Amino acid sequence: MDLGLRGRRALVTGGTKGIGAAIVDLLADEGAAVALCARNSAEVAAKVDALRAKGVAATGRALDVADPAALRGWVAEAAGELGGLDIVVPNVSALAVGSDEAAWRSGFTVDMMGTVTAVEAAMPFLERSEAGAIVVISSVSGREIDFAAGPYGAFKAALIHYAQGLAFQLAPRNIRANSVSPGNTYFAGSVWHQIETGNPALFAEALRLNPTGRMARPEEVARAAVFLASPAASFITGTNLVVDGSLTRGVQF
């Protein structure tokens, strides 16, 4: 299937590791130009260089999405470099699984407002696109109560609500909005990689709960996100696509 992404311009936050990096790679492989950000400048530079080495139009900046001024400035700068924006994928999470006030503030600032700020900053460019698309990366923790109940789960649920609200509000402007809710996703350096070595009992329990007996790979989540971002999904908006290998039991209507 031709996803229709050749020549499109995409912006991805948290684009150097895990799901974000896989989304960046797949967008690039489909012919899109890509702007990405992350906090580590060396990792951003390496990712941009790797993309450019493959002939991809790519740009990136090291920043913290918790800094709204820096995030807004980068979105505008990236749009200028790419000649506009067609796609925005807010992907960064604070992974706030604690229960103290600091965890709640971190989850709100990074997960919630990092997403809202990126979308609002990109909106003037999406409105000029022929195929504007927003894909918010949420989590199955936004659908079910699990070990991440608290700020992480609460803000992931809020992101799903936010994306579906955007879908309704932006439909007259030909901008689609969807969310993707990954289940447990494993890659080198991930939270689950750390749990595997630091808390093997919890890791084993997480594997036991999934009928597939494994966790997702980043590229499996990325395929869902990139499809929803593409013109091939032109009449799909306001949906939350769960990618969890049947981990969750709730029926989604």
pLDDT tens track of the chain, all 253 residues? 899 999 999 999 999 999 999 999 999 999 999 999 999 999 999 999 999 999 999 999 999 999 999 999 999 999 999 999 999 999 999 999 889 999 999 999 999 999 999 999 999 999 999 999 999 999 999 998 887 789 999 999 999 999 999 999 999 999 999 999 999 999 999 999 999 999 999 999 999 999 999 999 999 999 999 999 999 999 999 999 999 999 998 888 7
Asked whether the CA dihedral 1, 221, 150, 67 is positive or negative, the reply is: negative
The answer to whether residue 190 sits within a structural domain is: yes
Q: For residue 15, give the nearest of 226, 234, 232 by alpha carbon.
A: 226
Which one from 93, 106, 129, 156 is the annotated catalytic residue? 156
The answer to whether residue 221 sits within a structural domain is: yes
Q: Please confirm, yes or no, whether 139 is among the known catalytic residues.
A: yes
Q: Please confirm, yes or no, whether 156 is among the known catalytic residues.
A: yes
The count of domains in the chain is 1
Tokens of 186: 């494993």
Which one from 106, 138, 141, 179 is the annotated catalytic residue? 138
Q: What is the CATH number of the domain that holds 22?
A: 3.40.50.720
Q: For residue 22, give the nearest of 212, 197, 180, 196 by alpha carbon.
A: 180
The answer to whether residue 151 sits within a structural domain is: yes
Q: Please confirm, yes or no, whether 99 is among the known catalytic residues.
A: no
The answer to whether residue 250 sits within a structural domain is: no
pTM for the structure as a whole:
0.97
Give CA–CA dist 179/238, Å, rounded.
8
The answer to whether residue 49 sits within a structural domain is: yes
Which one from 106, 152, 162, 190 is the annotated catalytic residue? 152
Give the range of the structural domain holding residue 150, as residue numbers without chain letter: 9-242
Q: For residue 82, give the nearest of 117, 13, 43, 36 by alpha carbon.
A: 36
Q: Please confirm, yes or no, whether 138 is among the known catalytic residues.
A: yes
Structural contact between residues 232 and 203, judged by C-beta atoms closer than 8 angstroms: no
The answer to whether residue 249 sits within a structural domain is: no
Which one from 139, 179, 181, 190 is the annotated catalytic residue? 139
Asked whether the CA dihedral 186, 239, 249, 143 is positive or negative, the reply is: positive
